[in-house]
Amino acid sequence: MKKQNLITFTKLGFAALMTLAAAAASASALSFTNIRANIPFDFTIGEKTLPAGKYTLQRISPNGTDTLLIRSEDGKAGAIGLTNAVRASTSPTQTKLIFHRYGNSYFLSEVWTDGDDIGRRLLQSRSERELERELAAYPVKGEPAEMVSEIVSGSTGR
C-alpha cells in the first residue's frame, strides 16, 4: 500500500511539475513588452513594496489573464500584478510608468509603451484603496507621478 501511494504521489508531482513548466513556457512565449526602468523611490505593486532601483517589467499572459511581472536587476526584489487594458486618446510618444502618489507612498498604476495607444492599468491594491479612504477627508487625493525620463529602454515585440 505504501509503495502504491508513493507511486501515485510521484505521478501527481511529475504531472504538476510538467504543468508548471508548460505554464512558464507559455508565459515566456506570450511576453511581448520588456521595459527597463530606474525607479528613484520605493513603490508598491499589489500588496508588495519594492525598494528604489533598476527594474525590468514584462507583460505576461498565462491562461488568458494579463499579468505584469516586475523584477529588480539584481534579482532580490520582484512582484506580480494583474492588469486591464486602457486606451489613450493619442498614442504616447515615450514609454512611461505612471504611479499614484499619496504623500511619500507610490503605487504603480499604469504602464505605457511608445507608439501604442493601449496601455496596462494595474488593479488597485487593497492597501492603496485603504490609504485613499484615509486621505479622502483631506482636499488632496492621490496624484499621478509620471516616470518618463527614468525609462532605460522599452521594446515591443508583437
The three-state (H, E, C) secondary structure of 104-158, written as one string: CEEEEEEEECCCCCEEEEECCCHHHHHHHHHHHHCCCCCEEEEECCCEEEEEECC
Structural domain spans, the chain: 1-30, 32-156
Distant-in-sequence contacts of 123-126, Cβ < 8 A, 24+ apart: 123/81, 123/82, 123/83, 123/84, 125/44, 125/45, 125/46, 125/47, 126/47
- pLDDT, tens digit (0-9, with 9 covering 90-100), for 56-74: 999 887 655 689 999 999 9
Q: Which pTM value belongs to this model?
A: 0.68
- pLDDT, tens digit (0-9, with 9 covering 90-100), for 88-128: 988 888 899 999 988 889 999 999 988 888 889 999 999 99
- Which is it for strands 67-72 and 53-60: parallel, antiparallel or unpaired? antiparallel
pLDDT at residue 93, rounded to an integer:
85
